[in-house]
Amino acid sequence: MKLLPDIEKAIPLPHEKVLRFAVRKIRNNYSEQWLEKQCIREGVAEIYTQYSKQGIFDILEGNAIRSFYPPRLTIELVPRSCWFDNVRNAVTVNQWDSLRKKTAKQAKWSCQVCGGKGAKWPVECHEIWQYDDENQIQTLIGLTSLCPSCHEVKHIGFTELRGKLEEATAHLAIVNGWSLEASSLYIEESFETWDARSRVKWKLDLSWLENEGVFVSNNVDEDEDASIQDIRRKHEVCDQIKESNKQYNVVNENNNSHGKVSFLNKILLFFRWI
């Protein structure tokens, strides 16, 4: 049985290449000349110069003029026990399309976090959830329009699988005025919260949709239901593999402080971080 679907690696946009090099420069203590050379080689020297003048690299180094606490941009990892319990699975395709367009129009086709727009399409629709940890209720409180970069931060586990963790970490830092180090720590804390919430069976509250005049159907297409069941079975297999391989270390201590995830755990991360 195939454990994983094929995850297509993302091709970085020009500005993302600059951010990727900036992250590596900071983490490996490379020189400014190294960063400039990499950007020239990749044909993104103009963006490098622009970012340098705007103080983008200063922010990543921890020298932001202003930082935001609480953060403007947050990570929102859906607990494993809530997978597939979302708006898109509860409404029809036409209903979702209507909600998506309405949300984008209200936001004037701009990101409601950073104000930016995507290079290929301006915004994407994101579900906003509130978690009542005491009563174990997951409540939909609205929809928001996000640029692709902010949306990738929200779902940073899947973003990592597509090879864009460095770019997403940098974007998180820039939007919040945080250092790269602070952003990395926040990501770790977000996964710890996700891990705790994934141990709970949540009740789903979609009453917000009813207030928007959207009827929520409990009927699921048979083919879709079979697909969901297949993924759940694959997840159970991965849990069994994980249980029988506790003796393996997740982090290779021979690598740098950021560590390398083992092949086994790389497989498990797909199910852990979506």
Domain ranges of the chain: 66-218, 220-274
Q: How far is CA 68 from CA 77, 94, 161, 174, 176, in A?
A: 20, 37, 28, 10, 5
Cβ-based burial of 58 (10 A; exposed 0-12, middle 13-18, buried ≥19): middle
Residue with tokens 């104000």: 115
pLDDT of residue 52: 98
pLDDT of residue 218: 55
When pLDDT is averaged across residues 199-220 and rounded to a whole number, the result is 81
pLDDT of residue 25: 98
Residue 13 has pLDDT above 60, yes or no: yes
Residue 227 has pLDDT above 70, yes or no: no
Residue 167 has pLDDT above 80, yes or no: yes
pTM: 0.78
pLDDT of residue 245: 39
Residue 265 has pLDDT above 60, yes or no: no
pLDDT of residue 12: 92
**Among 5-14, 48-57, 160-169, 251-260, which is the least confidently predicted range?**
251-260
When pLDDT is averaged across residues 99-125 and rounded to a whole number, the result is 95
pLDDT of residue 157: 87
Tokens matching residue 174 = 């820039």
